[in-house]
Amino acid sequence: MSAVIVLTPIVVSSWPVISAAVMGAVTGMGFAVQGSTLHEEKQSSREKVETEIANSEIVADSMTPTEKIVVQKAGVTIEVGQDDRGRCTVCVSGQGQSKKQLKQIGEEVSGRIIQQFAYHKLVTELKHRNYNVVDEEVLADQSVRLRVRL
Amino acid sequence: MSKPEFEIVISKTGKVTVEVKGVKGPQCIEYAELIKKIVGHEEERHLTGDYYAPEGEVRIDTHTKGTTS
């Protein structure tokens, strides 16, 4: 070992690329897909928390403003879309859940989306540069470890 | 020239930790920069003993022959 660096991914891409990362993340967490369009919330008693994926931007014109990925698990609904500035947002709603619990779920989903995005970007870009992934495993803490050689 | 090997860990929060192995000296920074260019912002950087080692093959053998009192 000669150098160790810690990086925070920048999640900037087209909606198809980002939505692929979203789908990989949420299905891996056990959420079931409900659709890809905006669903108006009918139950006003449901708490709702919106978080933004840090350092994210969906490239303009690659999605319509109302387009969203909607997934659900155990009464919790997650909508992933974009805000007015083109940043990727994660909106979590649920009944019987506190705002703190929903925020925690939103942050976990955001993290897993970033993880999926970084994984696919790294593997794709390194393959283009003739590097090979020689080993890959998911660790107990849900981290993904890759060994890559030229 | 040594061939680099990367050990990359992507945490569930999305943080990416990269260890560059098999390369000594400042060249390992060039490989680290490659990953940085693909991923994003650098938060931390640590250089270990190998970074300061000469790039050529240097072998130092040490032997201990018994003890004297």
Q: Which of B14, B29, B50 faces A1 most closely, judged by CB atoms?
A: B50
Closest-CA distance, A42 to chain B, in angstroms, reads 32
Residue A5: closest CA among B12, B53, B21: B21
Pairwise CB contact (< 8 Å): B20 & A3: yes
Closest-CA distance, A112 to chain B, in angstroms, reads 5
Say what the pLDDT of residue B69 is. 43
Distance CA A121, CA B27 (A): 23
Pairwise CB contact (< 8 Å): B48 & A139: no
Per-domain residue ranges of chain B? 5-52
This model of the complex carries an ipTM of 0.87
**CATH code of the domain in which A20 resides:** 3.30.310
Position of tokens 């660790």? A139
**A chain contacts of residue B8, beta-carbon cutoff 8 Å:** 122, 145-148
Say what the pLDDT of residue A135 is. 94
**A chain contacts of residue B30, beta-carbon cutoff 8 Å:** none
CB A10 within 8 A of CB B35: no
Pairwise CB contact (< 8 Å): B10 & A144: yes
Distance CA B28, CA B34 (A): 10
A29 touches chain B (CB under 8 A): no
Pairwise CB contact (< 8 Å): A4 & B14: no
Distance CA A54, CA B43 (A): 14
Please indicate, yes or no, if residue A6 is contained in any of the structural domains. no
Domain count, chain A: 1
pLDDT in tens, chain A (150 residues): 578 999 999 999 998 899 999 999 999 999 998 866 555 555 556 888 999 998 898 887 766 767 889 999 988 999 999 888 889 999 999 988 899 999 999 999 999 999 999 999 999 999 999 999 999 999 999 999 999 998
Pairwise CB contact (< 8 Å): B16 & A143: no
Q: Encode pLDDT of A21-62 as tens digits.
A: 999 999 999 999 886 655 555 555 688 899 999 889 888 776
Which residues of chain B fall short of a pLDDT of 70? 1-2, 49-69
User: Tell me, what amino acid is at A109?
Assistant: V
Please indicate, yes or no, if residue A3 is contained in any of the structural domains. no
| Per-residue tokens: A63 | 């999605």
Say what the pLDDT of residue A67 is. 82
A135, exposed or middle or buried, with CB in 10 Å at 0-12, 13-18, 19+? Answer: exposed
Which residues form the domain of A41?
11-149
